[in-house]
Amino acid sequence: MGNQLQSLDYLVFLIYFVIVAGYGYWIYQRKKAAQTSAADFFLAEGALTWWAIGASLIASNISAEQFIGMSGSGFAMGLAIASYEWMAAATLLVVAVFFLPVYLKNKIYTMPQFLAQRFSPLVATIMAVFWLLVYVFVNLTSILYLGALAVSTISGFTFTTCVIGLAIFAVFITLGGMKVIGYTDVIQVLVLILGGLATTYLALDLVAQHFGSGGALHGLALLREKAGTHFHMIMEPGQMMMPDGKGGMEDAYGKLPGLAVLIGAMWIANLNYWGFNQYITQRALGADLKTARSGLLFAAFLKLLMPVIVVLPGIAAYLLYREGVFQQELLDAGNVRPDKAYPVLLNLLPAGLKGLSFAALTAAIVASLAGKANSISTIFTLDLYKKFFHKSADEATQVRVGRIAILVALIIGVVVAPALANFGQAFQFIQDFTGLISPGVVAIFVLGFFWKKATGSAALVGALATMPAGLLLENIFPHMPFLHRMGYVFLTLVALMVLTSLLDKKGRENVRAIEIDASMFRTSPGFAAGALLVVGILTTLYIVFW
């Protein structure tokens, strides 16, 4: 069919755009008077329902990083990459039970605010600047790069045009504040699930047709039969060699080292992302505890579905490639590029369905861009601008500055995004880089939550030592799997923080307490039942695909 959308595809996409933009504008107009409120703009305080919170969490999380990057990793290493999704479901339950109540009880609206309240303003400022740099130069740019790569491959528009177009689309939603983002994300999730499932169906049907039969279910059976090595969740050393996207091969164990995905540092990566990440927690911080917990439980159930949408198509593309199908389409300068697998599949969809899947991909990209830009704006405005540049800024000024921060962040993203073309598997690039940050963030927050003797000096040591410790360990042990490296760095930082706290007698005498009591962690019977169901499904999946 080629890299061109047909008239019916454009019509489907236009309908999607009009619905999302129109719905967002309607929500904005309904509460226009409240938009001068900073709490409303940044948090949608009290406005989001549980289903809007859950949908917004997933819409913001699922982006080109998953559709393109994780599908590419599915092509390269198989179902094992789904651990990032399935273990995230378990992590959401932990966050809902243990961390969310503390945030809400202590009226925490930003992650730096927690650090300032628990440790010191200096720690909060250092981490605020740190988070802003990572959000803008790693997360936002990677979403734009992968998104533009996919949209360009499918539509035939130039990469630059797609980067700019996606950024402009995101602005339409983001400038309306968190309430607009939250409720338009409900539509985005619906579109990305429907469109994603359509692509998965096509991929499985293509597998069945290639082997002389038809039907997606038969295609799934053939996939497990013909590509059995791609259906193991727990990797062993040397079990699978995969293309690195640069013309060479690498051991998949280096990316997903065995039991580390279940009982190791995968928890550090997930707790950092789902529990201590402004981009994610912001959706729940404006709600009451019952609503917020229900939203996270809903998101956990949606997480269970995501590998069907983003990993299975990559495995199907691997089998078809191995069978000689679209050999040239997956090559770039003579090298296999796994990140091209998903866009190549989309180009095989018939008119109409291709437009739906194109809309799904765009929905995922735009929702993530909007959420990330809003979080950047929140941290900059509340934790830097209001503290250091204009302490007496009124609500309207804060909202105006927040909108300017959104525009500046997206402009930077547009300029920097093309540089990511130098990396192989973009999803793994993101994981590797954030792996340098996650251990310190998790160590600081976990000790801050659950060890009353942790001091501000200890948190400062943890913040400053995070990246040097990771880089030092990487240089000493260059072939160590990055999840193992994260685990060792985490343990090292915890030890340093504990030692610093014990030696800091003055700091222990001036510890900034936060309000915690055991009753905060009790859950409703409905939440407990839902959580047990999620855990039961996860247990079954890992037993079946071990």
Convert 489-533 into a string of H (helix), E (strand) and C (coil): HHHHHHHHHHHHHHHCHHHHHCCCCCCCCHHHHCCCHHHHHHHHH
pLDDT in tens, 498-529: 999 999 888 777 777 777 777 888 899 999 99
In a domain, 11, yes or no: yes
Q: Residues with Cβ < 8 Å from 249, sequence gap 6 or more?
A: 241, 242, 243
Per-residue pLDDT band for 353 (boundaries 50, 70, 90) equals: confident
Residues 295-313: what's their mean pLDDT? 92
Give the residue with greater pLDDT, 71 vs 428.
71
Q: d(Cα 94, Cα 373) in Å, to the nearest integer?
A: 26
In a domain, 429, yes or no: yes
Per-residue pLDDT band for 214 (boundaries 50, 70, 90) equals: confident
CATH number of the domain residue 182 falls in: 1.20.1730.10
Amino acid at 7: S
Per-residue pLDDT band for 97 (boundaries 50, 70, 90) equals: very high
In a domain, 410, yes or no: no
In a domain, 506, yes or no: no
In a domain, 396, yes or no: no
Give phi and psi for 513, each to the nearest 5: -85, 150
In a domain, 82, yes or no: yes
Q: d(Cα 512, Cα 518) in Å, to the nearest integer?
A: 19
498-503: long-range contacts at Cβ-Cβ below 8 A with a sequence spacing of 24 or more? 498/447, 498/451, 498/454, 498/458, 500/455, 500/457, 500/458, 500/461, 501/451, 501/453, 501/454, 501/455, 501/457, 501/458, 502/453
pLDDT in tens, 393-413: 787 788 888 889 889 999 998
Give the residue with greater pLDDT, 30 vs 276.
276
In a domain, 492, yes or no: no
pLDDT of residue 425: 52
Using an 8 Å Cβ cutoff, are 83 and 326 in contact?
no
Say which range, 44-58, 87-101, 213-227, 457-471, has the weakest mean pLDDT. 44-58
Structural domain of 363: 7-370+422-434+516-544
In a domain, 392, yes or no: no
Domain count of the fold of the chain: 1
Q: Average pLDDT, whole number, for the chain?
A: 82
Q: Residues with Cβ < 8 Å from 441, sequence gap 6 or more?
A: 127, 272, 276, 466
Give percent of the chain with pLDDT exceeding 70: 88
Q: Residues with Cβ < 8 Å from 315, sequence gap 6 or more?
A: 74, 75, 78, 79, 223, 227, 230, 231
Give phi and psi for 360, each to the nearest 5: -65, -45
Is a pLDDT exceeding 50 seen at residue 1?
Answer: no
Tokens 């343990």 sit on residue: 491
Per-residue pLDDT band for 94 (boundaries 50, 70, 90) equals: very high
pLDDT of residue 416: 87
Closest by Cα among 372, 388, 479 to 122: 388
Give phi and psi for 434, each to the nearest 5: -65, -20
Say which range, 21-25, 52-56, 178-182, has the weakest mean pLDDT. 178-182
Tokens 């755009």 sit on residue: 17
Cα separation of the two ends of the chain: 38
Q: d(Cα 412, Cα 376) in Å, to the nearest integer?
A: 12
- pTM of the model as a whole: 0.83
Say which range, 43-52, 64-73, 104-113, 196-205, has the weakest mean pLDDT. 43-52
Is a pLDDT exceeding 80 seen at residue 129?
Answer: yes
Is a pLDDT exceeding 50 seen at residue 34?
Answer: no
